[in-house]
Amino acid sequence: MNKMAKKVIIYSMVGLLQCGLGVSVIEAAQRQPEPPSQEQGDDRHYQDQDREKRIQEENERHEREMRRHDHESEQEWHERQERERERHDRNLETIAGLVLAIIGNSNNN
């Protein structure tokens, strides 16, 4: 009798777990994501424009910095170019990271 009671309790718990999982799956399947509203579309458009503008400004600054200055030796120029390439890459990564963070926040709302 004791073994039988244990088996009934265990099988009942397993059955309840399966029902609970089934209900959550069914409920999740019924929910459909909302289409993006016009406001979200406008926000994305402005975010894209802002990102493009920031990237363009960074590229223009990078081009100016990569040119050789009149007073520089060739070695100084190459050293400065290497530092500028690293700075440029970091700035572009920062811009991309900010955009991803903004998009992630807008999707959570």
Contact call for residues 84 and 62 (beta carbons, < 8 A): yes
CB distance 81 to 66 below 8 Å? yes
- The single residue listed with the structure tokens 């963070």 is 101
| pLDDT for 39 | 57
State if pTM tops 0.95: no
pLDDT score of 82: 92
pLDDT at 38: 58
CA atoms within 13 A on the CB side of 100: 6
28-86: pLDDT as tens digits = 777 666 665 555 556 677 777 888 888 899 889 888 888 888 888 989 989 989 999 99
Given pLDDT bands bounded at 50, 70 and 90, which one contains residue 103? low
Contact 88, 58 (CB under 8 A): yes
